[in-house]
Amino acid sequence: MARDYTLQRRGGGPESGIDYRAELNDEQFAAVTSPPGRALVIAGAGSGKTRTLTYRVAFLLDQGIDARHILLLTFTNKAAREMTERVRALVPHDVSPLWSGTFHSIGNRILRRHPEELGFTKSFTILDSDDQKSIVANVVAGMDIDTKSRRFPKADVLASMFSLERNTGEELRDIIAVKYPYFDDWQAEIHAVRNAYAKRKLETNSMDFDDLLLKTLELFRAHPEILALYQKRFRHILVDEYQDTNAVQSELIDLLAASGSSVMAVGDDAQSIYSWRGADMGNILSFPQRHDACRVYKIETNYRSVPEILELSNAAIRANRSRFDKDLRSARDLFGTKPALVPLEDPRTQAQFVAQRILELRDEGVPLEEIAVLYRAHFQSLEIQMELTTRDVPFTITSGLRFFEQAHVKDVAAFLRFVTNRRDETSFKRIALLLPGIGVKGADKLWTEWLKSGWAMREEIPEWTEVLKLKGVPAKAMKHWSQLGHILEEMTPGGAFAKPAEMVYSVLEGMYDDHLRASYDNYENRRSDIEQLMTYGGNFEDVLDFLSQLSLLGSADGEPGGKKEEVETEKITLSSIHQAKGLEWKVVFLIWLADGAFPNGRIIEADDEAMMEEERRLFYVALTRAKDELYMSYPMLNPKSYSGDLIQRPSRFLEDFPREMVEEWKVTPRWGDSWDGGGGWEVDEPF
């Protein structure tokens, strides 16, 4: 019989000298010093989650745990580096043997050690998104797929389909039917491309980012002896942002922990907002049931927000049924000002209010970088961008490019530019390149033919269906080229220019909607952008005025070329809520709180409780970004240039908390309309 013998750690107390009791609050201390085993830490917004994880690693090292037996999994390399550096600053131990990083980086390390078992070599290439797109496009080009009669999904869209299938475990046919129904007739071809793409990666000794997880899982399933090596090595597994794990990541953790390793999963179910990219909140909700003798710790002391904001946030999230019960408590004193609820006449008035209040806050001493405007979807920032540009308020956008710099907005604008300036070579070629079968050389040839026609230099507006009968139009593009002529005819009825909004509508419905569906995996968001452009166009009668305004607002600082002599360092932040997760500001403006805008209209129509609860969690995330002041606003009217004004219902989320928790503001014009920068506004508070 073998004798058990345990090596004792050197010294008496913690080698780091950390007084954990003094450094941590009671909730953090309980989690950090918990005994080995399975633990779920529900760490609320602003409660010191990173601090808890960092001190947990330090505590394990102080208990004599070898750093090589610790695995720290995160969702960003930045988070992994930050936590490792904090641990290194806390303890005298050598932490270099500790494995810390994203799921993908850890998967890469494991696969580099055992590639032959999966048919690869150690020098396998990791494909970035451009590489992946190129291979998928080459696969499609090499297959017998007839794309002349109708559009086949572009490589980006196909890659998104394949990624969603692999990260969720759902069948590809179901993903297409639910998320890409307009490609349902292409099911067989899409499946064939998927299989050919997988074969091509193996032939070229390449893996994409999804493979770094899936191939690791495949390795562990097929080779239990290799899994046993890592189970023995990683005796203490810590996982950050566990609510964001997908099916593959959750199974990887469960496999590594199956032999009895300690696991501490840290996260917040109330901030699970990424189901659209495969995250499954069920992983965190079911964690205590999947792991025997699991202890649940709750960290509910918030160091970020004032009590007035936290009380509102707690009340808002209680409307969700699927959640862990918790209430955040503020470590700060009462601020004395309740969150503001601000109904406004329309989107333009909302933008004017936000811009004016931002300037007032700056005058009151709040730095611009401590102010953020948050929204559900990027297109909802259009009026804000325009108003801030008009008032010369510097801003940065984390949710995407400035509205008029986006490719799809510039595509649509190219139609209007060419119609009004038939010598615009750039716009002509941009339009031509949108059509199937036309590349850069083809666009050059068509431009030469257009110049030969003489219509580039003539003043009168032509009959487009006739003058566009040019030599050199590829057979594959002929149908779409003919449709282009009809669209341009609609844009110039009776030999005159239509109104800008009508022109945008003609482009969108005539051909560009099909292009969006085939080219972008976020089709619905991009279509919403174009619809917003249409709404903005409703403010103009003359297309030349409209195009001039687009050019001015499209430059980075309202100046030609987007440059200023002095670089602004102080800027407010415009961000989607998804991009804002993990960030904080003294003052937050949460805009477009109207049903159909937030929550999203498609989710309201779907009548799906799980989807609606995720929308409410997104609302909760937005509320908890604010430290001192919170302004919630919504336009009561939404002008639709092609269908009339719509009366909007306030967001149903505003019904989830008592009205006495907010201060309602009534905003009324003082004189005139200040859309052009003049005029002013009176604010009566409370309502």
Q: Mind telling me the catalytic residues?
A: 49-50, 240-241, 271, 625
Contact 537, 546 (CB under 8 A): yes
Element spanning 426, H or E: helix 425-433
* 405 DSSP 8-state letter: G
Class of residue 467 by CB neighbours under 10 A (exposed 0-12, middle 13-18, buried 19+): middle
Partners of residue 262 on adjacent β-strands: 236
d(CA 250, CA 656): 32
SS3 assignment for 99-159: EEEEHHHHHHHHHHHCCHHHCCCCCCEECCHHHHHHHHHHHHHCCCCCCCCCCCCCHHHHH
Residue 598: CB partners within 8 Å, gap ≥ 6?
Answer: 375, 376, 592, 615, 618, 619, 651, 653
Residue environment code for 402-427, b if the CB has 16+ CB neighbours within 10 A, otherwise e: bbbebebbbbbbbbbbbbbebebeeb
Q: How many angstroms separate the CA atoms of 616 and 600, rounded?
A: 11
CB 391 within 8 A of CB 676: no
Tokens representing 268?
């917040």
Residue 495 amino acid letter:
G
Q: Write the Ramachandran bin of 341: left for phi over 0, alpha for psi from -120 to 50, otherwise beta.
A: beta
Distance between CA atoms of residues 504 and 529, nearest Å:
11
φ and ψ at residue 209, rounded to 5 degrees? -65, -35
Query: What does the DSSP assignment read for 36-94?
Result: SSEEEEEE-TTS-HHHHHHHHHHHHHHTT--GGGEEEEESSHHHHHHHHHHHHHH-SS-
DSSP conformation letters of 466-499: HHT--TT--GGGHHHHHHHHHHHHHHSGGGSPPP
**Whole-angstrom distance, CA of residue 27 vs CA of residue 4:** 36
Cβ count within 10 A of residue 364: 8
> Tell me, what DSSP letter sits at residue 334?
P
Nearest to 338 by CA among 626, 621, 584, 573: 626
Asked if 304 and 629 count as a contact pair (C-beta separation under 8 A), the reply is no
Give strand pairing partners of 303.
Answer: none
Tell me how far CA of residue 274 lies from CA of 44, 577, 578, 611, 618, in angstroms: 17, 11, 8, 11, 9
Residue 147 β-bridge partners: none
The position carrying tokens 């005298």 is: 92
Distance CA 302, CA 481 (A): 59
Nearest to 270 by CA among 315, 334, 333: 315
Contact 332, 307 (CB under 8 A): yes
| Neighbour tally for 356: CB within 10 Å | 17
Q: Give the H or E element holding residue 187.
A: helix 187-203
C-beta pairs of 9-18 under 8 Å, 24+ apart in sequence: 9/63, 9/64, 14/59, 14/62, 15/61, 15/62, 15/91, 15/92, 15/93, 16/58, 16/61, 16/62, 16/90, 16/91, 16/92, 16/93, 18/55, 18/58, 18/59, 18/62, 18/90, 18/91
- Residue tagged 């949108």 (tokens): 434
Q: Is the dihedral of CA 656, 657, 662, 664 positive or negative?
A: positive
